[in-house]
Amino acid sequence: MESAPVSDEIYQILDLARWAPSGDNCQPWQFEIIDQSHICVHLSLDPENVYEYNNGQPAFIAAGALIENISIASSIFGKKINIDRIYPAESNQVKIDISFAAGDNGASDALVDCIRKRSVQRDAYKNTPLPQNVRHELESILPAEMEISWYSGLHDKLGIISVYMCATEIRLTIPETYKIHNEMMDWKHKRSATGIPVAATGLSGMTRLLMRWVIKSPSRMKFFNKYLMGTLMPKLELDFLPGVACSSHFAVSWKHPQKNAHTIEEYIEFGRSLQRFWLTLTKYDMVMQPEIAPLIFGFYGAKNIDFTSDQKMKKLSVTLAEKVMQFYKKPVDQILFLGRVGFPKTAQDETKVRSVRKPLSELLISRTAEHC
């Protein structure tokens, strides 16, 4: 028996949901439409990517953001979603079955219009204080087992900048990130569907010109970083200036340490709440920048993981883990997310330089035997 044709609603939902954030705009997912009320999200894991630490934690959080987008987009059609099953990881892929049902009130989610508008802002923000009402609303979004700490004063900002600069030294020096950065930076397009436009990285025009020359060769990059202070300008432009110019930095962490490893379900649930957190900022014409490099490389240092062939940077990752503990008063594996928020210096514009997304047609896959 042939299956019934899928309604256009499913395609419209996924077309909006695909605007979820992911590391370096890698979009590690595909959609399998099973029938009128079921889809399966195929999430690809990349264990060779040094940024995908802790067995793919960033990918699971990104999947949560995608699922929340699906939920929000579904509300346009009076639907709600259920996560029916999350399959165990197999061959570096996790499958997530999602079903659609009639919604409770038929009203569209208030954050629908924020999905396309939301984007990462890596430059300096205004120093306008975070309004109390916005702060309270953001705090109410997080799951009960998590807590958020805010860092708004200059002393705290400088302390955080010190942590971030240590992480930047590692990520711009180790050979394991060279290919990732080279493939991620889009030098040709102002709106990149598969990476990050170089003009959106937060680097100045002069630094971008220099980097374009340096990044063409791994040996050139190594020499430049070792002898010509190649990480100095990125630290200034990516860490110091934006680190000072913002309303507040923040850290989201588990309230209590846990002996057993956290589950995929927990990371997905956090990703869903983080997406609502980010979209709520967008609703108030505010912006956000994730800053998780200290967590990634601090995690490697704390766990004594051989993540790089550069032994000097491996030792520095241990120092980074200590810096994280000293500043945040929590071990690095208890912290889920770091970021900064604020009001942009110029109004947000959906047509500006930014990462966009692959067409939906490239994200759709045929039904697998498992769902036939």
SS (H, E, C) the chain: CCCCCCCHHHHHHHHHHCCCCCHHHCCCEEEEEEECCEEEEEEECCCCCCCCHHHHHHHHHHHHHHHHHHHHHHHHHCEEEEEEEECCCECCEEEEEEEEEECCCCCCCCCHHHCCCCCECCCCECCCCCCHHHHHHHHHHCCCCEEEEEECCHHHHHHHHHHHHHHHHHHCCCHHHHHHHHHHEECCCCEECCCEEHHHCCCCHHHHHHHHHHCCCHHHHHHHHHHCCCCHHHHHHHHHHHHHCCCEEEEEEECCCCCCCCCHHHHHHHHHHHHHHHHHHHHCCCEEEECCHHHHHHHHHHHCCCCCCCHHHHHHHHHHHHHHHHHHCCCHHHEEEEEEEECECCCCCCCCCEECCCCHHHHEECCCHHHC
Distances (CA, A) of 369 to 32, 39, 372: 11, 14, 5
Task: For residues 59 and 154, state if they share a domain.
Answer: no
205 lies in some domain:
no
Question: Is 298 in contact with 317 (CB distance < 8 Å)?
Answer: yes
Task: For residues 51 and 79, state if they share a domain.
Answer: yes
Task: For residues 305 and 330, state if they share a domain.
Answer: yes
Task: For residues 293 and 163, state if they share a domain.
Answer: yes
Residues near 6 by beta carbon (within 8 Å), at least 6 away in sequence: 33, 35, 36
Q: Which two tokens mark 165?
A: 């600069």
Sign, Cα dihedral of 297, 302, 307, 312: positive
Structurally, the chain folds into a number of domains equal to 2
Length of the chain: 372
So what's the pLDDT on residue 1?
Answer: 36
Task: For residues 148 and 246, state if they share a domain.
Answer: yes
Q: Is 259 exposed, middle or buried (0-12, 13-18, 19+ CB in 10 A)?
A: exposed
214 lies in some domain:
no
Please name the residue that has the structure tokens 């079903």. 99
So what's the pLDDT on residue 103?
Answer: 85
257 lies in some domain:
yes
So what's the pLDDT on residue 3?
Answer: 52
Task: For residues 97 and 66, state if they share a domain.
Answer: yes
Range of the domain at 162: 132-173+231-342
Task: For residues 165 and 313, state if they share a domain.
Answer: yes
Question: Is 52 in contact with 23 (CB distance < 8 Å)?
Answer: yes
Question: Is 248 in contact with 141 (CB distance < 8 Å)?
Answer: no
34 lies in some domain:
yes
Task: For residues 108 and 147, state if they share a domain.
Answer: no
328 lies in some domain:
yes
Task: For residues 160 and 266, state if they share a domain.
Answer: yes
Per-residue pLDDT of the chain in tens (372 residues, 90 and over written 9): 345 456 799 999 999 999 999 999 999 999 999 999 999 999 999 999 999 999 999 999 999 999 999 999 999 999 999 999 999 889 999 999 999 999 877 789 999 999 999 999 999 999 999 999 999 999 999 999 999 999 999 999 999 999 999 999 999 999 999 999 999 999 999 999 999 999 999 999 999 999 999 888 989 988 888 767 789 999 999 999 999 999 999 999 999 988 788 999 999 999 999 999 999 999 999 999 999 999 999 999 999 999 999 999 999 999 999 999 999 999 999 999 999 999 999 876 665 899 999 999 999 998 775 664
Question: Is 278 in contact with 332 (CB distance < 8 Å)?
Answer: no
Task: For residues 240 and 332, state if they share a domain.
Answer: yes
Q: What is this structure's pTM?
A: 0.95
Widest CA span in the chain: 69
Q: Please, which residues bridge with residue 110 across strands?
A: none
Q: How far apart are CA 12 and CA 257, in angstroms?
A: 41
Question: Is 108 in contact with 76 (CB distance < 8 Å)?
Answer: yes
219 lies in some domain:
no
Task: For residues 157 and 262, state if they share a domain.
Answer: yes
So what's the pLDDT on residue 352?
Answer: 83
